[in-house]
Chains A and B, each alone.
Chain A
Amino acid sequence: MEKSDLLLSSPTSEEILNLKLKSVVIRRKILKMLHLAKSGHTGGSLSIVEILVALYFKVMKYDPKNPDWGNRDRLILSKGHAAPALYAVLAEIGYFQEEELWRLRKLGAPLQGHPDSNKTPGVEISTGSLGQGLGIGSGVALALKLKQNSAMVYVILGDGEMQEGMVWEAIMASGHYKLDNLCAILDNNNLQIDGKVSDIMSIYPVEDKLKAFGWNIITIDGHDFSSIISALTLARTTKGKPTFIIAHTVKGKGVSIFENKAKYHGVAPNDEEFEIAMQELQKQEEDLLNG
């Protein structure tokens, strides 16, 4: 299949509403998982919800009944600590039973603290040690080209993660090999664990750096569905270059008490915070349904 055949139609307003409603459902599940697990990464899971929802509910082709289907698009969650977001989406589309979500991080459970491809269907490869996903993605992209397979490879990275040297080795290799079947998405929430990315170890101006390495750069609001979908469409149609989508996001997005707070990087909601969060999500859902 030619890539142009895969051109996405722009989403209708009804579709966008459904994606927004889906995001509320996913956020609720993420928070319930974390709350029950009493540990895990709240902020970085919430910041990629719209990106994952757009990918899995609009853009990517895959078959939950046949996780190894050869023509599937691949997603590599390089920032593996956002596993709860990925798990919530994978359960929603039927890779495994929803009940598994509630055993996150428990002894003997398939859903590990960080994605484990030996234990969880739909996870392409285990991640959690930052900096390795883009290099893996570039290898998959090269391999797909060798097989003349037109599937796309998506890699989601954190902005703190961009400080790893390996990421830049992968950026160089992907630009060098002109991997137009590779699309990296930067969850640019400007927070890492110890503080702001711009204070701890600045990666900025990241667009200019990436451009110099031969990438196609698209900067978007990472919580806005029409921007995300049009960027992902451009990534598919751009020839001769890999695409880096710089998604401006808010860490902890969707629950005001968690938003933009470094503290909630690796802390699960306690009982009280969970209640507040559920009420806020309830309100968001009602507002969406009432137009």
Chain B
Amino acid sequence: MDKKATRDAYGEALVELGKKDPRIVVLDADLSGSTRTAKFAKEFPDRFFNMGIAEQNLMVAAAGFAITGFIPFASTFAIFATGRAWEPIRQSIAYSNINVKIVASHAGITVGEDGGSHQAVEDITLMRVIPNMHVFVPADATETRKVIEKVVEIEGPCYVRTGRSKVPIIFDDNYKFEPGKAHRVREGKDVSIIATGIEVYESLRAAELLKREGISASVVNMSSIKPIDKEIIVEEAESTGRIVTVEEHSIYGGLGSAVAEVLCQSLPAKLKIIGIKDEFGISGKAEELVKYFGLDSESIAREVKRFLNE
């Protein structure tokens, strides 16, 4: 299976879109090599602005571009985008419903060796809670491209979460991304796994492992965290009655919480939230950390079995 980091797909998509749409400008905060906006900077130096190590200013300057008729993409690591710059994003972007596209890289523990200070495991929560904000977490390189194309069409603030590490490409070019629409990527009748980001692939593998033990698991790719696809969640609750969510993110406030909010208010069903428990990340290799935090396919399969036996 081919692998590619979602940040790489972002960098390439920006260049393609930049050719078509002169309204696109890109701002970064001294991480253009890492977020991959450097590709755009090279193609379109006049439409690229390095704001230095100043993430709050990065966001409000992007707002300035937006109210002057441009479509600004603002990029840095997820922790600094959503953490340092949270209140500027809330006030100067979301409050006025300004058309800024925040695309952050290095989300989650797959940042690896840099450690907990650099691993955003709260960003989905932080962005999801803001009114007007769209929150998208692509599962692979293909979906990243589709999401980036879509956010250009959307009028309003968007947050897109990308990652540092290479991940398998699971979708082909025919894949369509729609805000508020999840995809059932595998059918099943015993349990429903709803996953986001890199955990979609891990969940698909977990479903394979479960199949060997006679458990039929459906897998849903919930890349649009906000707006969320309520219908598919309710459908899964109706068909299997047991939902497991999986995310490379804190169990508080992210995908699991979003799904819980829907279930509790529409069709209560048993729910297991798999993610990073109440703790910070640590240094280690990305693959090691995925296992350490129980986010690899084996751990997911194990948790699903335990859940079904409860």
A contacts, CB < 8 Å to B: 37, 39-40, 80, 105-109, 112-114, 116, 126-131, 160-161, 163-165, 192-194, 200-201
The interface residues of chain B lying within 8 Å CB-to-CB of A127 are: 117
> Bound state CA distance, A201 and B31, in angstroms?
13
B contacts, CB < 8 Å to A: 28, 30-34, 38, 50-54, 56-57, 79-80, 83-84, 112-118, 282-285, 288-289, 292
> Bound state CA distance, A113 and B283, in angstroms?
6
The interface residues of chain A lying within 8 Å CB-to-CB of B79 are: 129
Q: How many A-B residue pairs have CB under 8 A?
A: 91
Contact at B117–A192, with CB atoms within 8 Å? no
Contact partner, A105, options B57, B84, B113, Cβ 8 Å = B113
Contact at A131–B53, with CB atoms within 8 Å? yes
The interface residues of chain A lying within 8 Å CB-to-CB of B285 are: 107
> Bound state CA distance, A164 and B53, in angstroms?
6
The interface residues of chain A lying within 8 Å CB-to-CB of B53 are: 130-131, 160-161, 163-164, 192, 201
With A107-B289, A116-B116 known to touch, is A201 a contact of B283 (CB < 8 Å)? no
> Bound state CA distance, A114 and B112, in angstroms?
12
Contact at A129–B117, with CB atoms within 8 Å? yes
The interface residues of chain B lying within 8 Å CB-to-CB of A126 are: 117
With A107-B284, A107-B292, A194-B33 known to touch, is A200 a contact of B116 (CB < 8 Å)? no
Min CB distance A195 to B, Å, is 8
Most buried by A among B52, B282, B283: B283
Contact at A112–B116, with CB atoms within 8 Å? yes
Q: Which residue from chain B places its CB closest to the CB of A114 in the assembled complex?
A: B117
Contact at B118–A193, with CB atoms within 8 Å? no
> Bound state CA distance, A114 and B54, in angstroms?
20
The interface residues of chain A lying within 8 Å CB-to-CB of B30 are: 160, 163, 192-194, 200-201
> Bound state CA distance, A87 and B56, in angstroms?
31
> Bound state CA distance, A106 and B118, in angstroms?
15
Most buried by A among B32, B38, B52, B80: B52
Contact partner, A200, options B52, B113, B118, B284, Cβ 8 Å = B52
Contact at A193–B113, with CB atoms within 8 Å? no
Q: Which residue from chain A places its CB closest to the CB of B34 in the assembled complex?
A: A193
Q: Which residue from chain B places its CB closest to the CB of A192 in the assembled complex?
A: B30
Contact partner, A116, options B50, B113, B115, Cβ 8 Å = B115
Q: Which residue from chain B places its CB closest to the CB of A199 in the assembled complex?
A: B50
Contact at B288–A107, with CB atoms within 8 Å? yes
The interface residues of chain A lying within 8 Å CB-to-CB of B52 are: 160, 163, 192, 200-201
Q: Which residue from chain A places its CB closest to the CB of B41 in the assembled complex?
A: A194
Contact partner, A193, options B33, B51, B56, B115, Cβ 8 Å = B33
Min CB distance A3 to B, Å, is 34
The interface residues of chain A lying within 8 Å CB-to-CB of B113 are: 37, 39-40, 105, 113
With A163-B54, A165-B56, A194-B31 known to touch, is A128 a contact of B284 (CB < 8 Å)? no
Q: Which residue from chain A places its CB closest to the CB of B83 in the assembled complex?
A: A129
Contact partner, B54, options A105, A109, A165, Cβ 8 Å = A165
> Bound state CA distance, A131 and B53, in angstroms?
9
Contact partner, A164, options B32, B33, B34, B54, Cβ 8 Å = B54
Q: Which residue from chain A places its CB closest to the CB of B77 in the assembled complex?
A: A129
Q: Which residue from chain A places its CB closest to the CB of B55 in the assembled complex?
A: A164
Min CB distance A237 to B, Å, is 33
Contact partner, B31, options A80, A112, A193, Cβ 8 Å = A193
The interface residues of chain A lying within 8 Å CB-to-CB of B38 are: 194
> Bound state CA distance, A164 and B58, in angstroms?
11
Contact at B57–A165, with CB atoms within 8 Å? yes
The interface residues of chain B lying within 8 Å CB-to-CB of A163 are: 30, 52-54
> Bound state CA distance, A193 and B77, in angstroms?
13
The interface residues of chain B lying within 8 Å CB-to-CB of A107 are: 282-285, 288-289, 292
The interface residues of chain B lying within 8 Å CB-to-CB of A165 are: 54, 56-57
Min CB distance A122 to B, Å, is 17
> Bound state CA distance, A107 and B80, in angstroms?
24
Contact partner, B283, options A112, A129, A160, Cβ 8 Å = A112
> Bound state CA distance, A191 and B252, in angstroms?
38
